[in-house]
Amino acid sequence: MKTLTVNLIRKNILELQPYVSYRDLQNPENPVLLDANESPFGMYNRYPDSTQKKLKIKLAEYKNISPDYIAVGNGSDELIDLIIRIFCEPKKDSILVMNPSFAMYGFYAAINENKVMKLDLNDDFEIDKEYFLNEIKNISSKVFFICSPNNPTGNSVDDLEFFIRNYEGIVVVDEAYIDFSKKDSALSLLEKYPNLIVLQTFSKAWGMAGARLGIAYASEEIIRLINTVKAPYNVNSISQELIINAIYNQEIFNENLKRILAEREWLEKELQSAPCIVKIFPTDANFFLIRFKDAETVYKALLNENIFTSKRAPQIPESIRINIGSREENQKLINVLKNLNS
């Protein structure tokens, strides 16, 4: 693998020494733990393993990748924040995002006092290649966030490698919804591109949003940087145990994923006969972006029935993002939409 260009990394981060818990470097039998001011009593009285060794080993087996290529975060949000802080100098550097896309990229850039440069998607919510090449010549940015499948549009980015290959900074491919897609993961490109970071999560297809656990896959160099900057005990013991058990019991995940995909197919067919709908955009995720004749009226009608959805106007005119629920929830949604006047 090629090495990462050092000038992409903030100088103070390169000089930073990571917090190291001595006990995480050891593996003694029956230790007497008097080093961390913990209580000697309680079920979860000890701090979690700050290196998440057992979890990384299990993830490495599942993804067929080295544990050294894995960093674990308190949700993908923490990892997004860390990536921006590692590579972007406050008040100086900028990030590049698709527009529209996941709002938290810009949120964490703003916290770090970095500008957000927006790459407008075309009418099909794709990145025009010629437009992309012209834009990166005219603007300076350190990190490019590619959400694929994209939130809130639902579609995957075509020819993903083209954008990774032609961007000189750090490319972050956010694959929060990759399990719902037939597209290949960008994990297969890690060996080829030292500037690539792939984010995945257990919040969506795995049904474990409450565990708040996100994964970054990248070169050993980038993973070392993330582990240097992250908080020492950023992922709690309970979440680590839950995820390890989920991977051990993968058949539950497989069954639930099949159910969601089946509901997605059923819901799309039912939505097509709702007179208030103008367009259902293609999706590789667990949600639909839908254009309505009058999105505000639809949104309020759904709220009146205690159905919560995500209004996307004015950024995407007359549009609402609606994720796939259970059959009972989906049927309730359909009943409201079909009874609305066109």
Q: Give the pLDDT score at 342.
A: 54
pLDDT tier for residue 2 given thresholds of 50, 70 and 90: low
> Which domains occur in the chain, in start order?
20-248 (3.40.640.10), 251-338 (3.90.1150.10)
Helix axes 75-87, 104-111, angle to 10 degrees: 50
Q: Give the pLDDT score at 26.
A: 77
Read off the pLDDT of residues 289-330 as tens digits, 9 standing for 90 and up.
999 999 999 999 999 999 999 999 999 999 999 999 999 999
Q: How far is CA 177 from the centre of its chain?
A: 8
Contacting residues for 253 by C-beta, under 8 A, at least 6 apart: 205, 206, 207, 246
Tell whether the model's pLDDT for residue 191 goes beyond 80: yes
Read off the pLDDT of residues 59-72 as tens digits, 9 standing for 90 and up.
999 999 999 999 99
Tell whether the model's pLDDT for residue 160 goes beyond 90: yes
Beta-strand pair 287-292/277-280:
antiparallel
- Of all residues in the chain, the percent with pLDDT exceeding 90 is 91
Tell whether the model's pLDDT for residue 18 goes beyond 90: no
**Residue 28's CB: how many other CB atoms inside 10 A?**
8
Which of 133, 183, 130 lies closest to 160, judged by CA?
183
The answer to whether the beta carbons of residues 129 and 162 sit under 8 Å apart is yes
DSSP 48: P
Q: Give the pLDDT score at 4.
A: 78
pLDDT tier for residue 79 given thresholds of 50, 70 and 90: very high
Contacting residues for 260 by C-beta, under 8 A, at least 6 apart: 180, 205, 286, 324
Angle at 165 (CA atoms; ends 161, 170), nearest 5 degrees: 100
Please provide the average confidence, as pLDDT, over all residues in the chain: 95
Mean pLDDT of 212-234: 96
DSSP string for residues in 124-193: TS---HHHHHHHHHHS--SEEEEESS-TTT-PPPTTHHHHHHT-SSEEEEE-TTGGG-SSPPGGGGTTT-
Tell whether the model's pLDDT for residue 34 goes beyond 60: yes
Contacting residues for 263 by C-beta, under 8 A, at least 6 apart: 324, 325, 326, 327, 330
Mean pLDDT of 247-259: 96
Q: Give the pLDDT score at 28.
A: 80
Tell whether the model's pLDDT for residue 341 goes beyond 80: no
